[in-house]
Amino acid sequence: MKGLLVGFALAALTLGIAGCGGGGTTTPGGEGAPPGGGGGSATAVPIVFESDRDGNWEVYFIRSDRTGRQNLTNNPASDTEPAMSPDKTKVAFVSDRGGKADVWIMGVDGSNPQNITKEAGVAGSPSWYAEGARLLLSLTVTGKNNDRPQIYAVNTDGSNLEQITDNQNFNLTPIIQSDVSRVTWATGDSLEELDLASMIIGKDERVIVERPASDWRPSMMTPKVRPRLILEVQTDGKAAVYEVETDGRRLQPVVKSSSFNAIQPVWGDLGQAAGSYVLFSTDKDGNWNVYFVPTGAGEDLLQKLVQVTDNPANDRHPSW
């Protein structure tokens, strides 16, 4: 299991050099479209994810009802780690098409990709501020902080780059609770043992989930009701999805199985009537596919899983 976690982390840190291209391509009717095809239901939620189904990693779009699949990046480079903007109009992602791993922003239709970290170091782990005008990311600058990634904030046009963490650890997968400027991220001296840390920008950091395993990829859950975090946890030899209070209390499973891994969780609200859901990637089918499930599924987990992608390739790192 440690190899799984470390492999994904290193892939994000060490993307290779590749060429350039651009433009999206659409598959009519979408992936596993309902009978009749078409553009999907009015309540379907847009989702982006990374996939190697074309022979290299690309960023794809799909709706939660499995319609409208589209290759957004369509580039010979490696395009990964998509993050949907709060207003669903833009996607931040990581690409090495410029010669190193950078954070790019494009329209949700794949239009107008822009490199926002080309003057900085090796970048990854983009996530959005709630207002959508600024991003958090991890950035490795040669000669600084033991050449290990630190957490930075940057405007969506690449201006006002601000270093948030300043330590000798690996610092990855940040998110922000914008109303109190609280950043939560994974940190540790080893990629095999990452803890969840939290800080208000400009103040000292503190570890909120400390265990002899990797705890990372946090996502803010129900911020207007009772702020909690969704995170990926290594437990019993498998990766699972847990929720925890923002102060580290009440760590409890949301998606956990002895037979498959569940990784890269993102919380989402599909509407007041539909309630709270977690979007994630799992290898339960023998390869990686994207699913979502109600946060309170409990023992009915397998019956309540909703499959989004169904492809013999690998589909990971979803965002909605």
pLDDT tens for each residue of 103-137: 999 999 999 999 999 988 999 999 999 999 999 99
**Hey, what are 16's tokens?**
């290779």
Q: What is the mean pLDDT of residues 280-308?
A: 91
Percent residues over pLDDT 70 in the chain:
80
- Kindly state the DSSP code that residue 33 receives in the 8-state scheme: P
Q: Mean pLDDT across the chain, nearest whole number? A: 85
CA neighbor of 211 nearest in space, from 223, 229, 197, 193: 193
Q: Specify the pLDDT at position 152.
A: 97
What is the C-alpha separation between 225 and 18, in angstroms, rounded? 44
224-278: pLDDT as tens digits: 556 788 899 988 889 999 988 888 888 899 999 999 999 999 998 776 555 689 9
Q: Specify the pLDDT at position 21.
A: 39
73-86: pLDDT as tens digits: 999 999 999 999 99
CA neighbor of 231 nearest in space, from 220, 247, 242, 245: 242
CATH number at residue 310: 2.120.10.30
Q: What total of structural domains would you count in the chain?
A: 1
Q: What are the backbone angles phi and psi of residue 12, rounded to the nearest 5°?
A: -70, -30
Contacts of 79 (CB under 8 A, 6+ apart): 50, 57, 58, 59, 73, 93, 94, 95, 97
Q: Specify the pLDDT at position 10.
A: 44
Q: Specify the pLDDT at position 28.
A: 35
Confidence band of 142 (pLDDT split at 50, 70, 90): very high
Statement: residue 17 has pLDDT above 70: no
Q: Specify the pLDDT at position 273.
A: 54
Amino acid at 250: R
Domain that holds residue 292: 2-319
More confident residue, 178 or 161: 161
Contacts of 222 (CB under 8 A, 6+ apart): 228, 267, 269, 276
Are the beta carbons of 124 and 172 closer than 8 angstroms? yes
Angstrom CA distances, 118 to 73, 78, 106, stand at 18, 16, 15
* Sheet hosting strand 238-245, strand order edge to edge: 215-221, 228-235, 238-245, 252-255
Amino acid at 32: G
Distance of CA 249 to the CA centre of its chain: 23
Q: Specify the pLDDT at position 101.
A: 97
What is the C-alpha separation between 274 and 269, in angstroms, rounded? 8
Confidence band of 282 (pLDDT split at 50, 70, 90): very high
Confidence band of 38 (pLDDT split at 50, 70, 90): very low
Contacts of 157 (CB under 8 A, 6+ apart): 114, 116
Query: If DSSP codes are grouped into helix, strand and coil, which group holds residue 11?
Result: helix
Q: Specify the pLDDT at position 92.
A: 98
Q: Specify the pLDDT at position 30.
A: 46
The residues pairing with 9 across neighbouring beta strands, listed in sequence order, are none
Q: Specify the pLDDT at position 177.
A: 81
Query: If DSSP codes are grouped into helix, strand and coil, which group holds residue 284?
Result: coil
